[in-house]
Amino acid sequence: MFNKTDYDLCIIGGGAAGLVTAAGAASLGAKVVLIEKHRLGGDCLYTGCVPSKTLIHSADVANTVRTAQRFGISATLAPINQTAMMQRVSDVIKTIEPNDSPERFRAMGVEVVFAEAQFIANDKLLVEGREITARKFVLATGSRPFIPAIKGIDSIDYLTNENVFENRANIDHLIVIGTGAIGCEMAQAFRRLGSKVTLLGRSGLLANEDEDMSNIVKQQFIRDGIDLYVNSSITQLEKTEHGINVMLTDSENGSAITVEGSHLLIATGRQSNIENMGLDKAGVSTENGRLVVDARLRTTNKRIYACGDVAGPYLFTHMAEHQAGIVLRNTLFHLPAKAQITGIPWCTFTAPELARVGLSEREAKQQGIKYRVYTFPFDELDRAITANETAGMAKIITTPKGKLLGACIVGVHAGELIAEYVLAMSQGLNVSALSNTIHIYPTLAQINRRVADQRMKESLTPSRKKWIKRLFGLRG
């Protein structure tokens, strides 16, 4: 028999991970309480995926109009009113918001409480003077922007993903610190929406990706007119009468540079929301500012689980949803389910997009894995040519015998195209499975077969071709 508690499941945090966990548990008949200190929806709805992709789409439309001559069309783009564009971002959020409303979750049977929660024992929470017990607890408190310790930063009214979408004034010159996904997406979007943009970073553009792939994005940034200082160290920030000065040192030649801008966006990574929760009283250990969790997403207190950004290591909404399912299997059904940590896809929604699943070439080399690399460019793909979207390529990493180890696509709709590789890798398929699959002509998805065909062509060596000709009496 179970010990008597108030709830089957107590979830702290109402972002993507917490909401999926709460909805799933309630639908299975569990008694659930969901505690959130702000609003349901979390980063994804209000400050992450939804507003950023809305902004990026507006930027893509603006760029299409601005470059309409590529398609034989004459068009003129009036100066962009960023106030109106940001209002559209708000309207999209409001359209999606009801899906994450407290009324919807209460109708499912979830008790929703808006308050801060603190553990007062390893099996008990304190919420506004009320003690709450549950069979299992789930930490889904998310993450927030990491703000680096740069001299002068405390004197600057800087932007992050948490407030940039609330800005209603036209941005004249945006300085972006951070060359990861968020920094790159926002830099290009605002440039295409009419702002002058300078992008700053220490270790190159999209440094986690192979350089031959990230360089394709970099070249587009240069064509877009983004000023890049992506191998530099920032030494000081200074508030001025007209905006911000950023002082930096070029890592290559040591020269001192000052960049002047009207607004500053900091996109230098994320940190977990784990403060002021009484984790020590609950016996939950942390390490370097992160929760310590096992493969089943249990903390060091085996009745307290974690999912989403706070659990890591992949800070994606689709990973939060996956982890929520793992938590449900462990907490409600007591199944020893483990979270997936390999074969996780992601996409940086720049133009061109960069999407990857599995190992990069650099990672395969670092791990001492024997591998082969095959590529195919978009500029040899008929559908890409007809759409004038020829920048980029597909790249696959395989074992010498052809089993897929990883895939990366840089190009139009890469985030959609990568799904075929995700499925292939999850099923342990050989690259020949893609080569033998019929793809509709003309489509962008043909690039997945065409890059796979490169391995088939490689196997047709001159000696093998000579043997085939002799065996079958071919006369070419």
Give the tens place of pLDDT for each residue, 105-136.
Answer: 999 999 999 999 999 999 999 999 999 999 99
Task: For residue 326, give the H/E element and its range.
Answer: helix 317-331
Q: What is the pLDDT of residues 409-433, one digit of tens each?
A: 999 999 999 999 999 999 999 999 9
Residue 1 has pLDDT above 70, yes or no: no
Q: pTM for this one?
A: 0.95
Which residue has better confidence, 458 or 314? 314
Domains and CATH numbers, the chain: 7-144+271-331 (3.50.50.60), 153-268 (3.50.50.60), 352-462 (3.30.390.30)
Give the C-alpha separation, 231 to 438, whole Å.
Answer: 44
User: How much of the chain is in helix, strand and coil states, percent to nearest 5?
Assistant: 35, 25, 40
Q: Give the pLDDT of residue 252.
A: 80
Residue 325 has pLDDT above 60, yes or no: yes
Mean pLDDT of all residues in 314-319: 96
Q: What is the pLDDT of residues 205-215, one digit of tens each?
A: 999 999 999 99
Whether residue 245 contacts residue 260, with contact meaning beta carbons closer than 8 Å, is answered with: yes
Q: What is the pLDDT of residues 428-474, one digit of tens each?
A: 999 999 999 999 999 999 999 999 999 878 876 677 777 777 778 88
Residue 2 has pLDDT above 60, yes or no: no
Task: For residue 350, give the H/E element and its range.
Answer: none
**Residue 476 binned pLDDT confidence (cut-offs 50, 70, 90):** confident
Q: What is the layout of strands, in order, in the sheet containing 304-306?
A: 111-114, 32-36, 7-12, 134-139, 304-306
Q: Provide the pairing of β-strand 290-291 with 173-177.
A: unpaired
> Which DSSP category does 347 fall into?
E
Backbone angles phi, psi at 48, to 5 degrees: -125, -115
- Whole-angstrom CA distances from 57 to 79, 112, 158, 408 are 17, 34, 24, 22
**Residue 3 binned pLDDT confidence (cut-offs 50, 70, 90):** low
Whether residue 48 contacts residue 317, with contact meaning beta carbons closer than 8 Å, is answered with: yes
Q: What is the pLDDT of residues 254-268, one digit of tens each?
A: 899 999 999 999 999
Residues 6+ apart with CB under 8 A from 27: 108
Mean pLDDT of all residues in 287-297: 97
Give the C-alpha separation, 186 to 199, whole Å.
Answer: 10
Give the C-alpha separation, 197 to 262, whole Å.
Answer: 10
The residue type found at 135 is: R
Mean pLDDT of all residues in 9-27: 98
Helix (H) and strand (E) counts in the chain: 15, 24
Q: What is the pLDDT of residues 137-175, one digit of tens each?
A: 999 999 999 999 999 999 999 999 999 999 998 999 999
To the nearest whole number, what is the mean pLDDT of the chain? 95
